[in-house]
Structure 1
Amino acid sequence: MIEKHVDEYITFLKIEKGLSPASLSSYKQDLNHYLFYLDDQGITSLAKVDTDVLIGFIKYMTEKGLSPKTISRTQSTLRNFHQFLLNQDVTEVNPAVKLTAVRGEKKLPVYLTIEEMETLLATPDDSPAGRRDSTMMEVLYASGIRVSELISIKRPDVNTEMGFIRVSGKGSKERIVPITDFVARQLDEYIGSIRPRLLKAEDTEDLFITNRGRGFTRQGLWKTIKKYEVLSGINKNITPHTFRHSFATHLIENGADLRAVQEMLGHSDISTTQIYTQISASKIREMYKQFHPRK
């Protein structure tokens, strides 16, 4: 009987809400875990579920070692599911509305120190591919753009004379991102002498192209960065996004205005940018503990 209501809810989400197959699968998985718990507790009617039962389920998930993020998502699923049951007159109340949101501690993003970044940027060799890779990493660090934004840059999007790149961010929002004179000169060299040698017979407007003359994919760029992580000897998990984190952290550590960093990163909400102030504060605390004479 309970399974029937879950199936009806999933159908509702599919037809009325138009959710994607991935989202439907996620909802179904959360609810299947919920049904398993109810069955284990001997509960055969959703009308008998109260807030205490839901709290018991949350505690069960916590004891199983599920992350706060997963538990929070499941709570949202239960809240919506029980609201659906209430709207359908299956139950008389929504016991999930009284659940307190689970807040997990935000993990600070991985970033490189200025010295580590300089080591990484000096790692590529002087071959055409190495000079291309060097330019890609310099652009990532100089602009703080996302991976998707980098691989989407077209040749006409670059204006080295004025010192900026036009990128298309989330929601297809375009923004102008400044670059340093050093990176502008490196881009001029790449566009003028390196890129034509990589193009071969291909015809593409993509700024950064592979050895086969085609634009980079996210996976291809990730593999390239991982190669230089190994070659540099830096003992950190370096991904293309590490450049973005390092860009923002270094700017804020050196006194950049938070609103300006928000604009350059393309964040719609400044609270997203504020995570980098926490990194800076964390670093200050570490230095304080290390160097204060009365530890």
Structure 2
Amino acid sequence: MAAISVTDINLEAGSIYIKSTPTTNSRTLSLKPGQILLLYTWLREIRPRLLKGADSDVLLIGHRSKPMSADDIVKHVIRSYKNTYPERSVTAQAIRGSVIANLLAHGHDISVVQQFAGHKYPSSTERYKQSGVETLKAAIEQYHPMR
């Protein structure tokens, strides 16, 4: 997320371009209407105030008018959600994994999820599949009163 630039956002087309990394492919993802509205507000109102006249192409800007690093983003996610989910370890990676697992659990085709996640290999996406037994085990571990 720290690598996303303002030019990667196309509000008119309702899309965001994600650059490739050593482990993921580049991809263009569709934005939902609520996401478009949030990004519009961020780009037109909030981000310019945070920049305070500074110049930066980076999408996410912190309170000191500097681009947010990956570590800053992780700290923000943890700080924002630790009270909402106190029993869970909330990280950017956990959220990403949860989204991928949920897409697969809801029957989305593995090749579609692979493209969405930017995985180079189908096997990378397949490891997020959970069998019914694994899901049941996870629920028991989380909610069983004798743990």
Pair 1:165-2:16 in alignment: yes
In the alignment, the residues of structure 2 paired with residue 276 and residue 188 of structure 1 have an alpha-carbon distance, to the nearest angstrom, of 32
In the alignment, the residues of structure 2 paired with residue 218 and residue 253 of structure 1 have an alpha-carbon distance, to the nearest angstrom, of 28
Tell me what 2:7 maps to: 156
Q: 1:233 to 1:276 in 2, by over 3 A?
A: closer
CA radius of gyration, larger in: 1
TM-score by length of 1: 0.44
Tell me what 2:103 maps to: 251
Q: Which runs of 5+ in 1 are unaligned?
A: 1-149, 288-295
Structure 1: which amino acid aligns with 2:40? D
* Structure 1 residue ranges, 4+ long, deviating more than 6 angstroms after superposition: none
Q: 1:280 to 1:155 in 2, by over 3 A?
A: farther
TM-score by length of 2: 0.83
Equivalent residue in structure 2 for 1:234, among 82, 86, 94: 86
Q: CA deviation at 1:156?
A: 1.1
Percent identical: 25
Contact in 1 for aligned 2:101/2:130 (Cα 8 Å): no
Q: CA deviation at 1:281?
A: 5.5
Pair 1:178-2:35 in alignment: no
Structure 1: which amino acid aligns with 2:35? V
Counting matched residue pairs gives 139
Q: 1:256 to 1:200 in 2, by over 3 A?
A: same
The CA RMSD over aligned residues, in Å, is 2.2
In the alignment, the residues of structure 1 paired with residue 41 and residue 76 of structure 2 have an alpha-carbon distance, to the nearest angstrom, of 20
Q: CA deviation at 1:260?
A: 0.3
Q: Counting helix residues as a fraction of each chain, which structure ranks higher?
A: 1
Pair 1:209-2:69 in alignment: no
Q: Which runs of 5+ in 2 are unaligned?
A: 140-147
3-state SS in 1 of match to 2:82 = helix
Q: 1:270 to 1:173 in 2, by over 3 A?
A: closer
Q: Flag the structure with more relative contact order, 1 or 2, with Cα contacts below 8 A and sequence separation at least 6.
A: 2
In the alignment, the residues of structure 2 paired with residue 175 and residue 157 of structure 1 have an alpha-carbon distance, to the nearest angstrom, of 11
Tell me what 1:270 maps to: 122
